[in-house]
A = this chain, B = another copy of it.
Amino acid sequence: MNDLIDTLRRLVGPAHVLTDGDLTAWEQDWRKRSRGKALAVVRPASTAEVAAVVKACAAAGTSIVPQGGNTGLAVGSIPDDSGTQIVLSLARMSAVRAIDEANLTLTVEAGCVLQTLQETAEKAGFLFPLSLAAEGSCTIGGNLGTNAGGTQVLRYGNTRELCLGLEVVTPQGEVWDGLSGLRKDNTGYDLRDLFIGSEGTLGVITAATLKLYPQPAATLTAWAAVPSLAQAVALLGLAQRQLGAGLTGFEVMGQFALSLVGKHFSQLRVPFLGQADAPYCVLLENSDSESEQHARERFEALLESAFEAGHVIDAVVAENLTQAHQLWHVRESIPLAQAEEGLNIKHDISIPVSRIPAFCAETDALLAREIPGVRLVNFGHLGDGNLHYNVQAPASGDARTFLREQEDRVNTLVYDQVRAFNGSISAEHGIGSLKLDKLPAYKSPVALQLMRAIKQALDPQNLMNPGRVVQAP
């Protein structure tokens, strides 16, 4: 092992092989649920250095955990507790390599922080639409590795849909230069999409070519109280018909989730809070390529038809950017408010949009029956069928005890329902090690067999992020 450390120091410089001191930032997961122990944290500065590090580790039989901003929610980017794994941090590879305005593309290294990437695009007059809570810390390499979602998926897709090409270091330390700026290329298997979402188990993403979009001329936000989830789904359909691709956001929030924001962040104004005839509120975003006036007219026409059809009880359209930010801030404060309220069990599920009302009705009732007093913090990206269907401990009693005693049971109840409704137990967070043991029960055996065959073919030594996504053979 000391030989390997010496080799790594020679390859990336002694200052960039961390073995002593406080390595918490690299060894502990974002939600502080898990902590590992690394043999070393290695911070290469170039693709060539990444390749050399991977080759050295492969020769030594040492496994590698690639890491970006370490903000993942599925425990996929920290080492295990054996003290034998290398954390390969891409943080020093953060350059924007090129921007091609006429091609609407940008090529960037894996360690670039998402917010920096957004700002770089904006400065050049373009939009890079990936947007999520951790954007100030997460890196594009991590976003690609986990196929991150966020709030603009409805219009622009997941990270997968925003990527045209990749540069990847294979488990053998070879560099695949797939940094294509092409929107059409049918010359063989789709390696790009195989690496995207593979959570570092098939290779190390070192750079990517990403799509840019023209900035919209105006973006407006509205907040509507709806009489039921079914009406929220009907509103979504109407908005898709009337606004077309202008509809860039469609979030749903249950009243209990909103009440926690009202309770713990009393400085925030939560529209229609506690309105009994409106069990849910919806946040809509309309991005217009024409003008603010046009956006406002379209939005008002939509809301008018929605009132008439009974989809909406009450609604406000933000008058200006400040008000729009305030509305989004309420939506984004739900996870924090939930944490303030105490420990809880998080789910990141997706269901076909059409089946969400029935799923929630059934599952709400099931949980209430099985676990009296349970409180549901239900919110999410309804436009994508993605709910954060979270379960808060009963108000009475100790939350820690509740979690210890009930977490597995709650997960099984919810995930069995997800399966019954043809849904997914991980819509946007990935598998990591957190959900690895759940997969066999909720994924087709044929799919698992295909995944294992691919892992075995590309990483026969099982050195790339072992124990994540696919079970060891």
Contacts and interface: CB of A to CB of B under 8 A. Distances in A.
Interface in A48-107: 100-105
A196 interface: yes
Nearest to A453: B457
B190 A240 contact: no
Contacts of A321: none
Contact of A431 (B183, B188, B288, B442): B188
Contacts of A287: 244
A446 to B, nearest CB: 4
Interface string A343-365: 00000001111110000000000
Give the most central of A161, A354, A428: most B CB within 10 Å: A354
Interface string A171-209: 000111110111111111111011011100010000000
Interface in A426-445: 426-431, 435, 439, 442-444
Given A426-B187, A444-B178, A352 B105 contact: yes
**How many monomers of this protein are in the complex?**
2
A384 B184 contact: yes
Nearest to A233: B102
B197 A186 contact: yes
A423 B182 contact: yes
B189 A350 contact: no
A190 B175 CA distance: 21
Contact of A160 (B190, B214, B422): B190
Contact of A193 (B153, B184, B190, B439): B190
Contact of A100 (B147, B352, B430, B431): B352
Interface in A129-163: 146-147, 149, 153, 155, 157-158, 160-161
Interface in A233-255: 233-234, 236-237, 240-246
Nearest to A216: B244
Given A290-B298, A352-B182, A469 B385 contact: no
Contacts of A384: 183-184
Contact of A289 (B103, B244, B451): B244
Contacts of A246: 244-245, 289
Contacts of A244: 214, 216, 245-246, 287-289
B289 A187 contact: no
Contacts of A455: 189
Interface in A274-315: 287-290, 298
A170 B298 CA distance: 48
Interface centre among A175, A176, A244, A428 (most CB of B within 10 A): A244
Contacts of A100: 352, 354
A447 interface: yes
A399 interface: no
A386 interface: yes
A177 B445 CA distance: 10
Contacts of A443: 187-188
Contacts of A183: 153, 350, 384-386
A288 B384 CA distance: 23
B427 A184 contact: yes
Given A193-B193, A244-B289, A424 B458 contact: no
A386 B184 contact: yes
B453 A185 contact: no
Contacts of A184: 149, 153, 158, 350, 381, 384-386, 424, 427-428
Contacts of A439: 187-188
Nearest to A184: B427
A410 B454 CA distance: 38
Given A103-B354, A190-B194, A444 B177 contact: yes
6 contacts: A103-B355, A176-B446, A178-B447, A182-B427, A184-B386, A453-B458
| 5 A-B pairs with least C-beta separation | A244-B289, A245-B245, A457-B457, A102-B354, A193-B193
